[in-house]
């Protein structure tokens, strides 16, 4: 357990950041799931729209430090190639 005032404050800040990052990660996963569902249904229009809305969300996660840049780029690349192969 934290003993000093500073370490107690750091523990509080760490917990707050954890909650914010958890919400961001969850939001990103939701957007990605929508793209996956649209791909699975075979609807190219819906998949394209879902991917277009998921891209900025993923990149926002990169700026906020929740996701690594290469990871986000890889996910976008793989999803976009799957969306292209629908039609």
- pLDDT (tens digit per residue) in 11-66: 999 999 999 999 999 999 999 999 999 999 999 999 999 999 999 999 999 999 99
Give CA separation, 39 vs 1, 13, 20, 22, 48, in Å. Answer: 47, 39, 29, 26, 9
- Look at the block and give the residue holding tokens 């190639």: 81
Domains in the chain with CATH codes:
9-84 (1.20.58.110)
- pLDDT (tens digit per residue) in 73-86: 999 999 999 999 99
Q: Do 36 and 13 form a contact (C-beta atoms < 8 A)?
A: no
Does the pTM exceed 0.75?
yes
């Amino acid at each position: 357990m934290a003993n000093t005032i500073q370490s107690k404050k750091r523990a509080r800040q760490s917990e707050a950041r954890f909650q914010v990052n958890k919400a961001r990660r969850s939001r990103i996963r939701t957007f990605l799931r929508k793209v996956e569902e649209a791909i699975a249904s075979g609807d190219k229009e819906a998949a394209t729209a879902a991917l277009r809305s998921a891209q900025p969300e993923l990149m926002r996660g990169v700026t906020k430090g929740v996701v690594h840049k290469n990871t986000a780029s890889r996910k976008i690349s793989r999803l976009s190639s799957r969306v292209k192969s629908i039609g």
